[in-house]
Structure 1
């Protein structure tokens, strides 16, 4: 049959063993042939089995027994591995030849005035004017990111255009194994589009938390460069690109404090309120005093208020009236 999996990085011996594992599981060995025996492998076959596990074609249990991964999952793992290696090779070559810098020089030659807004690695603080200059800097920083990307979004809401721009960048980072941590403002809990996008990133390995307190806008890459808005109230004006070690370190400390104060992004299963939360929401309409509501529910006033505060944080409500309205919109109240 030949080595069909060669182009996916599997040699002939590894493919023979994987096929033998599949036949063993189906109890249909090929008669009259020299079948590799995964249960009593030769030293060479033992090495090949280890390689199968690394490739994602097989798994070992706690007793050392090897079982094949189902073909669809196995081939998918091989394709992912091939794409990851190809991407790493291409990015390495791109960096080695200075392609990004070379292309920037073309723009500078055509537009000398652009040099003032361009990212100069030798400058400790660079002013970037306009949203396009900021996005260009983000593209470059994330392209070369190797370990960590820290981001905050105080508004908690992303436009569809912003998601379209950031999605390929974020997925590229996650595919490379860059640790991504994001802090979103509490308004995310009322925006289904942003919420779905963040949950998708989490499913690919990102870490996302929600802050119910004011947070500062910042992007930090590899703890060596950071972006902060020139005017926090008008981010479209531009940003400051900071490379000065002390300032970046201070911004990292700020991010860590905001991260510790934020809460984990709830999964979809956590969207609906618990039984006690439903009862408390009902009390917002039926009782005008906390003491009355707590007595009807058979809990202390302190417990009642604690649950109510949690509900309001989840809803992003500023007061109890708004909490009742938002709960009704979400279908939490009949």
Structure 2
């Protein structure tokens, strides 16, 4: 049989070994497993490779078990898509594709929706919701470290969620730290609350403010969007790139963040799905790179989740986090 998994980045030997594990797992009993000879160093290295690929797992006793085929293939596909996306984004950046396309706008007549398309302007007026969404698309595409957002109303329409969801997921997949402050009305709006909890499960940090907050979006602490008319956000926004003003808006955000409360979970005493998976990785993976690959996230995102878990548990290190999680019943 040919290598059916080659297109997913699995070589002949890795596929052969994975198939052997599947056959062994389906035919062997627990007692038979315990009586097997220890693998040689070369075999152990090959098994470690399967664990790194997400095709196998290692339990606390060091025993290797194959990951079920649907989950294994799904992990391989996610990894391939992630690497492909990273390659394409790097290539687009290397050739300045976005910048080149934006230059086409500079040669055209001024847009009626914005006072100017010249990025050298420190403050630009964007008129209309479509112009604002275009600016958000541009800013988030280039985001590399941080995205700060507030929503004073605490309520998002289904249309707004449909527009923002792919943008937010793209940021989280890249390991961009996302912090959001929502107005307290979110607690009475199930659609928005469910959406925020979904973002949190993927690594976002969300807090609720019971005090009035200002509407602002800040990307990488280098650009910000604020409404032209806070009472009518559909009118448009100011795109601010002036360093002093952006720094002031960041300070404002940090004050609002410090005064806000954590978003309550469906059960605040239980870990989210991603937190539970990361806690399992603390036992099964000896390297962050291996754990991140198996979970289909970047190393940066994995470490960010881990830091949140340690804060929740009040743990000083990873070993202590695993022990406290075990005591709390977060780990079986």
TM-score, normalised on structure 2? 0.71
Cα gap change, 1:116/1:229 in structure 2, threshold over 3 Å: closer, same or farther? closer
Unaligned runs of 5+ in 1: 30-36, 271-334
3-state DSSP class of the match of 1:132?
helix
Partner of 2:39: 40
Matched residues in 1 for 2:26 and 2:9: separation? Answer: 25
Query: What's 2:63 paired with?
Result: 65
- Give the aligned partner of residue 16 of structure 2: 16
Unmatched segments (≥5 aa) in structure 2: 30-35, 269-332
Tell me how far 1:60 sits from its aligned partner. 2.7
Does 2:259 align with 1:261?
A: yes
Tell me the distance in 2 between the aligned counterparts of 1:261 and 1:216: 13
Q: Secondary structure at the match of 1:112?
A: coil
Q: Distance in 2 between matches of 1:165 and 1:268?
A: 25
Aligned partners of 2:110, 2:84: CA distance in 1, in Å? 36
Question: Over aligned residue pairs, what C-alpha RMSD do you find?
Answer: 2.5
* Contact 2:106 2:118 survives alignment (8 Å): no
* 8 Å Cα contact 1:230-1:237 kept in structure 2: yes
Matches within 5 A, 1:239-278: 239-269=237-267
In structure 2, relative to structure 1, the CA distance for the partners of 1:104 and 1:26 (3 Å cut) is same
Aligned length: 262
Residue 315 of structure 1 is matched in structure 2 by none
Q: Distance in 1 between matches of 2:179 and 2:16?
A: 42
Q: Give the secondary structure class of the aligned counterpart of 1:268.
A: coil
Q: CA deviation at 1:11?
A: 1.0
Deviation sequence 1:200-241 (CA, Å, 0-9, x none):
222222221111111111111122221112222222222222
| Matched residue SS, 2:224 | strand
TM-superposed CA distance for 1:62, in Å, is 4.1
Q: Give the equivalent residue in structure 2 for 1:308.
A: none
Partner in structure 2 of residue 195 of structure 1:
193
Structure 1 residues 107 and 245: alpha-carbon distance in aligned structure 2, compared to 1, 3 A threshold: closer
Aligned counterparts, 1:1-334, within 5 A: 1-27=1-27, 39-43=38-42, 45-113=43-111, 117-118=115-116, 120-269=118-267
CA 1:119/1:261 → structure 2, altered by over 3 Å: closer, same or farther?
Answer: farther
- After TM superposition, give the deviation of residue 153 of structure 1 in Å: 0.3
Q: 1:65 to 1:103 in 2, by over 3 A?
A: same
Asked if the contact 2:151–2:215 (Cα under 8 Å) also holds between the matched residues in 1, the reply is yes
Tell me, yes or no, if the aligned pair for 1:8 and 1:79 is still in contact at 8 Å.
yes
Give the match for residue 286 of structure 1.
none
Whether the 8 Å CA contact 2:147–2:177 is kept in 1: the answer is yes
User: Which structure has the larger Rg?
Assistant: 1
Shift of 1:38: 9.3
Q: 1:52 to 1:253 in 2, by over 3 A?
A: farther
1:255–1:54: structure 2 CA closer, same or farther, 3 Å change rule? farther
| 1:81-133 CA distance string (max 9 Å, x none) | 11111111122222222222333333444433459645544333222222222
Tell me, yes or no, if the aligned pair for 1:150 and 1:221 is still in contact at 8 Å.
yes
Give me the TM-score of the superposition, normalised by structure 1. 0.71
Contact 1:183 1:211 in 2 (8 A): yes
In structure 2, the CA distance between the partners of 1:38 and 1:214, relative to structure 1 (3 Å rule), is farther
Corresponding residue number in structure 2 for 1:313: none
CA deviations on 1:163-199 (whole Å, 9 max, x unpaired) are: 1211111121122222211111011111122122212
Retained in 1: the 8 A contact 2:208–2:260? yes
SS at match of 1:106: helix
Q: Is the 8 A contact 1:108 1:115 kept in 2?
A: no
**Offset at 1:77?**
0.7
